[in-house]
A and B are shown apart, each in its own frame.
Chain A
Amino acid sequence: MAMHVLVSDTLEEVTDPSDWSECKFPELADLDSYLRCQVCKDFLKAPVLTTCGHTFCSICIRRSITESNKCPVCLEETYESGLRKVLLLDNIVRWFSQNRQELQDKLQPEHINDSQEQENSDINESSYIVTNNSKGKENQNTPSFSIPRDISNVPFHNEISSDPPNAKTEKKVLAECPICGVFMPLSEIQGSHIDKCLTSGDHDKSRQPNSDQPRPNGQKTVRSKTLNNFFDKDKNSSGNNSQLQPNSVKNKQRLANLDTSISTSRLKEKLTSLHLSSSGTRNQMEQRMKEYINLYNANLDSINPASDRVVVDRLQKWEALINNKSNSGGVYNSNNTSNARNMNSPPVNYDEPTIKRQKIQHDEWNNKNNDQYLELIKKARANMKKQKNKEKPSTDNDSRSKAESFSDNDTELLL
């Protein structure tokens, strides 16, 4: 749908799996949706795994658990103590969201890439192109890593290192060890080699992996620079290993959940000891404390956690949002929005400059957003009209597509 192009133009920050629908490889929409949190619908941030096997942003599932101890997907009982961070996934998502725009640009249908592009590209061929096209820095000292060509067929939770479903191709796939840069069968890397490589730690970093080295089976070389960025970035942040958090994080203790039976004076003490404001009502203090605990613990699930200062900033933003929003009208009083607009009730705790800054930020954001919104609505309406006119002649078609999308939506419902 042309709409999506328009939308991503006007609302750049808001991405959606459907953004891929117009590109040469629309199947990427699936990968795009797998890498998103079911709660915020955005790319996973500091992903964690629940005991029932579902993955969410750490902060999203923590907030959700604060509300009720149920997995948002399967409604099974879920506890905070059961959450485990998934650092590799964090890296994968970061890579994807950073390179997403570029991938999309390169996969525009009118953009003819190069000779490798064939008219009748099947799935494997297309994924091959994806790999090939992603721009990386060619002269990096970091090792590169071959993605098996049929990775797009691999169910997401098997992750990159799992066996491709097609055993025949699996035999052929030579991959480069991400640590030492030596080419070898994928199964060997996944087996013992990578462990050896990691533990020995004496891999020769000066060895420049020859990315143009031909594959022995005569296939075109996959110059897999895609994961290079991923390792580079990581190198900057946390050393060579893609799954290592900075050492400073390891020593950090997670904050225990708030015992809501503690006295108000103890709660104030606690807040003060964490350098947080202890103003406001008891309820506001509790909310602040809970959100801070969630933000703090979620931050520790990130592969590259932010400083405590940033966590406090996030808390302030959150609180400003809450204060700004409160009293914005209920479902039964729709027309008091002018009222709501004046409801910038003073945040309870922050110093004057912070409040002002936040207000300005909100106003700016609102204004900007509002324009885009109006534009968007206009475009969408025009689009809908166009579609309606198009669909009118063929009522038969219409009802069929109705039935189809209905069943689609049913599945979504069950998720």
Chain B
Amino acid sequence: MSTLPKRIIRETERLISDPVPDITATPHEDNLRYFDVSLKGPAGSPYENGVFKLELFLPDDYPMTAPKVRFLTRIYHPNIDRLGRICLDVLKNNWSPALQIRTILLSIQALLSSPNPDDPLANEVAQEWKGNHAKAIATAKEWTEKYATP
């Protein structure tokens, strides 16, 4: 096991003792930099009632670089691709060491509430989202039921 900086211990402790509503993040017992995340789809979004699994990894130079986060559950969303990779500014250019796991997961939850098809990662989804919005929402709901219902 690699040595853990205090900041990671602190964050983990807070995540477990004072969890964010609708989000759980639990470290693997054999690798405390690797978290299993589950996130409830926000109410009012097509992902409502879904529970999405993600993986989160804190790289060696965290918090100087952003955590790596990926959806494990399939999701129909213009900013999340087939592999679960997420297009989100705070995970890329706008990462700041003042951010933390908690804030990142909240940002991802917010991204589910407000997709941004103008800066897409999944092009086909984004086109559908803009061209035939009703159908896109229906598909997202369908996928949520199919893949993300516990």
Contacts and interface: CB of A to CB of B under 8 A. Distances in A.
Interface string B12-54: 0110111111100011111111100000000000000000000
A40 B64 CA distance: 10
Q: Is the interface of A mostly helix, strand, loop or mixed?
A: helix
Interface stretch (B94-102, B114-122, B128-136, B138-146): B94-102
Contacts of B7: 40-42
B97 to A, nearest CB: 4
Nearest to A399: B43
Nearest to A6: B17
Could you say which interface size class chain B belongs to? 35 or more
B65 interface: yes
Contacts of B6: 13-14, 40, 42
Interface string A387-413: 000000000000001100110011011
A331 B56 CA distance: 7
A154 interface: no
A16 B1 contact: no
B107 A413 contact: yes
A268 interface: no
B16 A376 contact: yes
Contacts of A11: 9, 13
A335 B83 CA distance: 19
A415 B107 CA distance: 13
B74 interface: no
A329 B34 contact: yes
26 contacts: A1-B17, A11-B9, A14-B10, A18-B17, A39-B63, A39-B97, A40-B6, A41-B10, A42-B10, A72-B96, A73-B96, A75-B94, A322-B60, A328-B31, A328-B33, A330-B68, A331-B55, A331-B68, A331-B69, A334-B31, A337-B1, A377-B16, A402-B22, A412-B106, A413-B103, A413-B106
Q: What 10 pairs across the A-B complex have the smallest Cβ distances?
A: A331-B57, A380-B16, A331-B68, A72-B98, A38-B98, A337-B31, A328-B2, A3-B17, A325-B2, A72-B96
